Every structure is written in C-alpha cells, then in structure tokens.
Amino acid sequence: MTKPIAGFSKLTKEEKINWIATHYTHDPKDTIRILESYWNQDTSLQKLHDEFIENTISNLYMPMGIAPNFLINDQLYAIPMVIEESSVVAAASKAAKFWLKKGGFKTKIIGTEKVGQVHFIFNGEFEKLEQFFNKTKPKLIADAFSLTTSMSKRGGGIVNIVLRDKTSRLDNYYQLHCTFETQDAMGANFINSCLEQFANSFKSEALQYDAFNAKEKEIEVVMSILSNYVPNCLAYAEVSCPVDALTISLEISPKAFAEKIVRAVDIAKIEPYRAVTHNKGIMNGIDAVVLATGNDFRAVEAGVHAYASRNGSYSSLTHAEIIDGIFKFYIEIPLALGTVGGLTKLHPLVKLNLEILQNPSAKELMQIMAVAGLAQNFAALSSLVTTGIQKGHMKMHLMNILNQYGATEQEKVTVIEHFKTHTVTHSGVVNELDSIRKK
C-alpha cells in the first residue's frame, strides 16, 4: 500500500515524476517517457508553464483551432477555439458562414457589474445594525482608497455597498453585498482585496460603536469573497433574417425549419433535462474561446448555469421567435472576463489569440463569446431538427476512432471513402478497418 508523502512540493520535477510513476503506475519507465514527451523543447517556455501551477509534471495539450467568417457588428473575426470535442469548431464555422450573408451577428453589452460579498454574523437588532452600516459605509469606501486608486483611473472601482438581511434563511446571517466595475480586468484579486478591507474596517468600527452592546460589537466575519454569479454583467447577441432566407436543406422548407427551431428552444425553456444539454452545447462554443483567451472557464460555467436557473427552474439560455415573417435567434448571457492580468500577458498562445481577435476590450470579448455560444447552439439545433446530431458528429469522430486503432494513412483514406456512403458507428469503423487488414 502506498504511504502518504511529506514535502512533495519541495521535490524536483524529476523526483515528483519518479515518485508518481513508481507508486501509481504499472510501467514506471513508460510513464516517465510519456510525461517527458509532452515537455516543451523550449526550456524557458517549459519553465513558464511549470510556474503556472504547483507540482507540475507535464503539459496536457488540447487542440487549438480557428472558426473563421464571424461577422460581428459589421466587423469580420476569426475566432480561436481550444477544445477536444469533435465537430465543435466545424459547427461554429458552419454557423458563421451561414449568417455571413444575412447581416451577421449583432451584439451589445447590457451591463458589466461584478459582485463580491462580506458574509458575517451579527447578534443583535437589525435596526441598530442598519444605522451602524449607514454611518460606516463612507469609511469602508475611504479605507479602501489605496486599493481602488489605480482601478479608478481606468474608469472602474467600487460601485456600491448594500447591507442585506439574510436572517430568514440563516439565523443572524447578514451580508455586505458589494458591486464593482473592473474594466478590462476580470478583477478577482481587486475585488477580494477590497472585500477583505471592508471586513476589517467593518469589524474595527463595530468595536468602537457606542450604540452597540458588548455582544453586538463582536461582529463575526465568516468570509469575504467575490461571487461568480454576475447577473448584471451581461452580453447580448442575435441573428435575424426573413424566414424565407432560412434555406438550410432541400429536405425541409425554410418555414418548417424556422418553426422547428422555435419549438426546440421552447422545449428547452420548460424541460430541464433538455435545457442542460441545450446549454451544454452553448458552452461548447463559449468555453472554447474562454480557454483560448486565458480566462476562467469554471467561473464562467458556474455563473452561466446559475443564471439559467434564476427564475426558479433551469431553462434555455437562447431564445427564438418568428414575428411578421422575421426569424430571430438570440442569447443574453453573463460573462465576467478579462483581457489584462492573469495568463493574458504570460501565456504566449493566449497573447497571440487575443491579437487574432484584434486585442479586444473585456466588453468586446464578452460579445465575441456570446456570439460563439449562439452560433454553436444554432448549429446544434439545425442538425437536431433536420438530419439528427449523430450524422455530422460521427463523421467528425471518425478520425478519432481511426487514430485510436492505429490506422495507417492509407487505411484512413480507404475507411473515410467507405463512410462517405455509409453511416458512421464505432463498431462499423472497427469492422471496416479489420476487413481492410485481413485483405
């Protein structure tokens, strides 16, 4: 049985690899070979990667592709996407091309407000706490001045601090609900620093507040932390065209296609089982751009799915309608992003991807990502209501299956040609490959 290890982080990279290979894998030599084969040959670049996180032993590469032909507010974009799932980049590209000659995508920013909270326990009367807060609020902001000076110069800073009574849900629990503008920074460090300063000032002022009794002076701050739920940091994107222009396939009329899309979205609005997969498809597009631009896809995912549940039931993030012969498909989505700070100036590919996107501001990047999500959803729904999702997906997955079974280049050519006229299935590909090899 493997024993716990002390001081693992203090080992050299080679020592860490040797330890994990020896204690947790069947073939230590092969483990070491695989891990080292994914090191970057540029030692300075590998050192940079090693220092992104702790206990680095190798790099797990993901494919980076480009989805071209995105016309957004009359400007043409090629969007970098980092993702391992077959067909995502192809689907986004197909949707971009489809809408290119129909006016493209129109976008706007609805809001950019971000949120943080000081969570605390107060044993006393709410009226007294409220009076104390109203008196202390200006000092909370003033005490954070050294933290906000630089952000304020860029047009950001503290927007507001509000006292919230949450005692109906948890005894003696209150919040300082704080809102911020962080401009082109995602702003996590800025927000958390401000919150911790608010908490310290709030506690120290309470100790000196004469209207509080001894018990009330002892405010217990439980934690001070930003929230990844940002319902007022919203991007909007839409596409629209006359229904008659929705020529997607010879097998379905534009009118029938538009109506099916609307019904598919309506189902995702009221059926959570469908909505989860519907929104997952949207996030295929968004997460791929989040990763490509060095942003936090876990934070974006958490905030988006919370937003999808804001009305009490998990629901579709996209909307579709037909009014006076015009089909409109649109999305409103919360996206807290940054184009400065974090990996944006450290990771060479992130820097390059932002350059490919014409070095967007955070607001512009929000709109680009909203478009990526909308395009991905349109492509998925188009397949679902016509040929079905598997036909296109399995064709894209074909190469993965061939690589999994070690197909040669000639075998790949032969198998791909065969499946131009046959339905792609995993077993079908394996059987065809076996047949070729037997011959």
168, burial (CB in 10 Å: exposed 0-12, middle 13-18, buried 19+): exposed
The residue out of 195, 227, 259 marking a domain boundary is 227
Within a domain: 57: no
* First vs last C-alpha separation in the chain: 48
Cα distances (Å, whole numbers) of residue 312 to 114, 151, 308, 315: 22, 36, 9, 9
One domain, residues 157 and 268: no
Q: State the catalytic residue, choosing from 137, 255, 280, 351.
A: 280
- Condensed to tens digits (0 to 9), the pLDDT of residues 49-96 reads 999 999 999 999 999 999 999 999 999 999 999 999 988 999 999 999
pLDDT(358) > 80: yes
| Lowest-pLDDT range of 305-309, 325-329, 341-345 | 341-345
pTM for the whole structure: 0.89
Contact 242, 254 (CB under 8 A): no
CATH of the domain at 245: 3.90.770.10
Whether 296 is catalytic is yes
Whether residue 24 sits in one domain with residue 103: no
Active site annotation includes 85: yes
Q: DSSP per residue over 218-236, as a string?
A: --EEEEEEEES--TTSEEE
Same domain membership, residue 354 and residue 295? yes
Work out how many domains the chain is built from and give that number. 4
DSSP 268-299: HHH-HHHHHHHHHHHHHHHHHHHHHTT--HHH
Amino acid code (one letter) for 123: N
Could you tell me if residue 211 is inside a domain?
yes
For 360-372, write each residue's pLDDT tens digit.
Answer: 999 999 999 999 9
pLDDT over 70 (residue 395): no
Per-residue DSSP letter, 55: S
Query: Is residue 2 domain-resident?
Result: no
Residues 373, 259 share a domain:
yes
Contact in structure between 116 and 226 (CB atoms under 8 Å): yes
Closest by CA position to 19, among listed 8, 33, 30: 8
- Tell me if residue 50 is catalytic: no
The highest-confidence range among 123-132, 343-352, 382-391, by mean pLDDT, is 123-132
- Tell me: do 319 and 336 sit in the same domain: yes
DSSP 3: P
| 378 shares a domain with 244 | yes
Same domain for 98 and 238? Answer: yes
Domain that holds residue 44: 8-50
Output the domain CATH number for residue 216: 3.30.70.420
Structure tokens at 216: 């009330």
- Helix (H) and strand (E) counts in the chain: 16, 10
Coil, strand or helix at 54: coil
In a domain, 127, yes or no: yes
Q: Under 8 Å CB-to-CB from 12, ≥6 apart: which residues?
A: none
Q: Is 40 left (phi over 0), alpha (psi -120 to 50) or beta?
A: beta
Residues contacting 437, CB < 8 A, separation 6+: 411
DSSP 245-266: G---BTTB-HHHHHHHHHHHHH
Among candidates 284, 374, 285, 362, which has minimal Cα distance to 328?
374
Strand order in the sheet with 234-242: 106-109, 234-242, 326-334, 318-323
- Who contacts 34 (Cβ-Cβ below 8 Å, separation ≥6)? 58
Whole-angstrom Cα distance, residue 240 to residue 264? 17
The answer to whether residues 144 and 285 belong to one domain is no
Same-domain check for residues 90 and 33: no
Residue 170 counted as domain residue: yes
Flag whether 214 is in a domain. Answer: yes
Q: How far apart are CA 286 and CA 48, in angstroms?
A: 26
Range among 293-297, 411-415, 426-430 with highest mean pLDDT value:
293-297
Last residue of a domain, one of 183, 210, 227: 227
* Residue type for position 371: V
Is the domain of 250 the same as that of 347?
Answer: yes
* Residue pLDDT, tens place only, 285-298: 999 999 999 999 99
Please give the Cα distance from 70 to 365 (Å, whole number). 13
User: Which of residues 250 and 257 earns the better pLDDT score?
Assistant: 257
What average pLDDT is seen over the chain? 94
C-alpha–C-alpha distance, residues 384 and 373, integer Å: 16
Rg from Cα positions in the chain? 27
What pLDDT digit, counting tens, does each position of 203-246 carry?
Answer: 999 999 999 999 999 999 999 999 999 999 999 999 999 999 99
What pLDDT, in 10s, does the model give residues 140-184? Answer: 999 999 999 999 999 999 999 999 999 999 999 999 999 999 999
Side by side, the strands of the sheet bearing 220-227 are: 157-165, 173-181, 114-121, 220-227
In a domain, 56, yes or no: no
Ramachandran quadrant class, 249 (left: phi over 0; alpha: psi -120 to 50; beta: rest): beta
Query: For residue 339, which of 383, 290, 298, 303 has the smallest C-alpha distance?
Result: 290
Task: Give the number of other Cβ atoms within 10 Å of residue 75's Cβ.
Answer: 10
Query: Does residue 3 fall inside a structural domain?
Result: no
Separation CA 206–CA 200 (nearest Å) = 10
Catalytic residue among 296, 363, 397, 432: 296
Q: Exactly one of 16, 119, 393, 397 is catalytic; name it.
A: 393
* CB count in 10 Å sphere of residue 278: 25
Residue 21 tokens, joined: 């290979």
Do 351 and 368 belong together in one domain? yes
Asked about 137 being catalytic, the answer comes back as no
d(C-alpha 34, C-alpha 26), whole Å: 13
Q: How far apart are CA 328 and CA 262, in angstroms?
A: 9
Do 77 and 187 fall into the same domain?
A: no
Tell which of 199, 227, 255 closes a domain.
227
* DSSP structural state of residue 170: S
Quick check: 128 and 216 in contact, CB under 8 A? yes
Asked if residues 83 and 288 have their Cβ atoms less than 8 Å apart, the reply is yes
Apex CA 237: angle with CA 232 and CA 243, to 5°?
Answer: 140
